[in-house]
Amino acid sequence: MSSQVTLYDTTLRDGTQGEGVNFSSKDKLRIAHELDAFGVHYIEGGWPGSNPKDVEFFELAKKETFKHAKIAAFGSTRRADLAVENDPQVRMLLDAETPVVTFYGKSWLLHVTEVLRTTPEENCAMIRDTVRYCKEAGREVLYDAEHFFDGFKDEPVYALSTLQAALEGGADALILCETNGGCLPHEIADIVTKVQAHFPGTKIGIHSHDDGGCGVANALAAIRAGAVQVQGTINGYGERTGNCNLTTVIPNLQLKMGIPVVPDLTKLTALSKYVDDVANLPHFNRAPFVGSTAFSHKGGTHVNAVQKIARSYEHVQPTSVGNRQVVLISDLSGQDNILHKATELGLTLKRGTPEVKRILDVVKQRENDGYEYETADASMELLIRKELGEYKPFFTLLEYHTSHRTHGERGFEPCEATVKLELNGERVYTVEEGDGPVNALDCALRKALSHAYPELAQVSLIDYKVRIIDSKNGTAAKTRVIIESTDGTNHWGNVGSSFNIIDASWEALVESLEYFLTKKRA
């Protein structure tokens, strides 16, 4: 196993082949700079000539300075029976003017004869000629041996001959691609070891996919067997089930295998979320190392142990990858969950006291009634403050009412809501319309509070989820509503539960505003 391994990021090319992943040329440039700052060694920008967006990216990249990473252009071998200097695709690879050229060729006879419809000899000539042509142009050349592991298992002699052709052309490294994603780690290790023995001293890389759920494991197995480059994508983006996930590979290499690959691993979680944000995709909460629940603890016995010694349930320190420990509160909680939350709030509680037991009992009962506090952190804080007498209400509800009508010819018309409150010793009555009863209630409530609490204008609702509880009851089932709010800087969640979806929504809405005002008051 080498003590030096390089990272090759293909988020901007292979990653964009994943469903729902799409970047503009400027998006690509922004991500490339973040990858460069993080310490990635190679950044594959795209396939010049395959689409206008990639052409534009390489034109933009020519004018940029990258302090750490080398930009790579990706393509394929020359076409069969066409001189390499006459192949427009190869020409565009060089026109991208990147320091590195990466191209793929066929290693599996099945693809040579059935997909390319050419001879084994011509395929090797295509690989050899393309490498030589790019090397003569002064490029660093990485050869991606596509479907190498399947090809090796079928015809090992021929698969090795394609690698030999790349070396004869002058390839700087041979990247073994597990393109179908179906191999297991022991197969990867065995084949990489045999390739190393056949080509001693040659730089070998691994490019794995995750179709069998082993993309990361296969990459680590290849590194242990002697590979010195790992290719993958941020957050595992990629075709089908995705590529090897670099946000998982990198900390495993650095923290578990003792191979330093980036200068500051604490920036990993921020990078992961940044790429998701640019892609406009939700962050995967359960992602290893970088997910928001990667270091979350819910069971009472777990929390008790973590409070005593964190590594009893945490395989690495959360801060080492830029993440944090989270203690959840639910019906599975113990007293330590409550104590941890109270400490976060700056409240002093002691284990075994009646206050702690009472709060825990309330949580367990309310969860049984349909509430859920794992993602409703703001509701949990308000519950604790109310049970400790640390909460003062901002208004008193007297009455609210919603109505809507649908006209046979005109169709749907806006809903109407009325809200009656007692506020600062006075009665306030407001009426508002909205797109649905919940929106109308939200508008009416904000209007009623606007004069006394103008700062509520900062608060906006950014997510609204409804969960049906005990669905066997059909339309009479209890509902849980969870809403997420923001003031532009902070985010918080609140929960409401009722057999009436309007009442559940009202409860969550009111608490979202009360939480904001509580924080302002503090």
How far is it, in rounded angstroms, from Cα 273 to Cα 17?
19
Q: How many CB atoms lie within 10 A of CB 79?
A: 16
Among 512, 513, 475, 482, smallest CA distance to 496 is for 482
Among 154, 158, 148, 222, smallest CA distance to 178 is for 148
For every residue of 293-354, DSSP letters joined together read TTTEE-SHHHHHHHHH-GGGT-SS-GGGGT---EE--STT--HHHHHHHHHHTT----TT-H
How far is it, in rounded angstroms, from Cα 143 to Cα 176?
9
Report the run of H or E that residue 44 belongs to, with start and end.
strand 42-46
* Residues forming beta bridges with residue 495, ordered by sequence position: 482
pLDDT of 475 higher than 70: no
Q: How many CB atoms lie within 10 A of CB 410?
A: 8
Question: What's domain 6-263's superfamily in CATH?
Answer: Aldolase class I (3.20.20.70)
Average the pLDDT over 421-439 and give the result: 91
Looking at residue 328, what is its pLDDT? 65
How far is it, in rounded angstroms, from Cα 103 to Cα 171?
11
How far is it, in rounded angstroms, from Cα 302 to Cα 336?
9
CA separation, residue 366 to residues 277, 363, 400, 469, 497 (Å): 34, 5, 24, 13, 9
For residues 221 and 258, the answer to whether their CB atoms sit within 8 Å is no
Which band of pLDDT confidence, cut at 50, 70 and 90, is reported for residue 210? very high
Q: How many CB atoms lie within 10 A of CB 59?
A: 14
pLDDT of 81 higher than 60: yes
Q: Three-state DSSP class for 157?
A: helix
pTM of the model: 0.76
- Please indicate whether the domains covering 6-263 and 396-521 agree at the CATH topology level: no
What's the pLDDT tens digit per position in 345-355? 777 777 778 87
Report the run of H or E that residue 159 belongs to, with start and end.
helix 156-169
In the numeric block, the tokens 């830029």 are attached to 322
For residues 1 and 226, the answer to whether their CB atoms sit within 8 Å is yes
How far is it, in rounded angstroms, from Cα 36 to Cα 14?
18
How far is it, in rounded angstroms, from Cα 131 to Cα 139?
9
More confident residue, 327 or 458: 458
Among 150, 152, 134, smallest CA distance to 95 is for 134
- Enter the DSSP assignment of 69: P
Looking at residue 321, what is its pLDDT? 95
Helix-then-strand count for the chain, H and E: 17, 18
Which band of pLDDT confidence, cut at 50, 70 and 90, is reported for residue 409? low
Looking at residue 377, what is its pLDDT? 83
Looking at residue 285, what is its pLDDT? 87
Which band of pLDDT confidence, cut at 50, 70 and 90, is reported for residue 521? confident
Domain 396-521 - what CATH class?
A: alpha beta
- Token readout for 171 is 């390839």
Question: Of 4-8, 357-361, 468-472, 509-513, where does mean pLDDT reach its minimum?
Answer: 468-472
Question: Among 199-213, 293-307, 476-490, which range has the highest average pLDDT?
Answer: 199-213
In whole angstroms, what separates CA 432 from the centre of its chain?
A: 39
Q: What is the mean pLDDT of the chain?
A: 90
What's the pLDDT tens digit per position in 227-251? 999 999 999 999 999 999 999 999 9
pLDDT of 128 higher than 90: yes
Which band of pLDDT confidence, cut at 50, 70 and 90, is reported for residue 412? low
Percent of the chain with pLDDT over 70: 96
Looking at residue 65, what is its pLDDT? 93
- Token readout for 319 is 């801060």
Alpha helices in 40-155 (DSSP H): 52-61, 88-95, 109-114, 120-136, 148-154
Q: How many CB atoms lie within 10 A of CB 153?
A: 13
Looking at residue 165, what is its pLDDT? 97
Looking at residue 471, what is its pLDDT? 57
pLDDT of 331 higher than 60: no
More confident residue, 166 or 475: 166
Give every CB contact of residue 58 below 8 A, 6+ residues apart in sequence.
Answer: 45, 46, 48, 71, 73, 96, 97, 98
Q: How many CB atoms lie within 10 A of CB 399?
A: 9
- Enter the DSSP assignment of 266: G
Percent of the chain with pLDDT over 90: 67
Domain boundaries, the chain: 6-263, 296-387, 396-521
How far is it, in rounded angstroms, from Cα 92 to Cα 78?
12
Among 256, 252, 180, smallest CA distance to 216 is for 252
Question: Of 54-63, 293-302, 415-424, where does mean pLDDT reach its minimum?
Answer: 293-302
Which band of pLDDT confidence, cut at 50, 70 and 90, is reported for residue 329? low
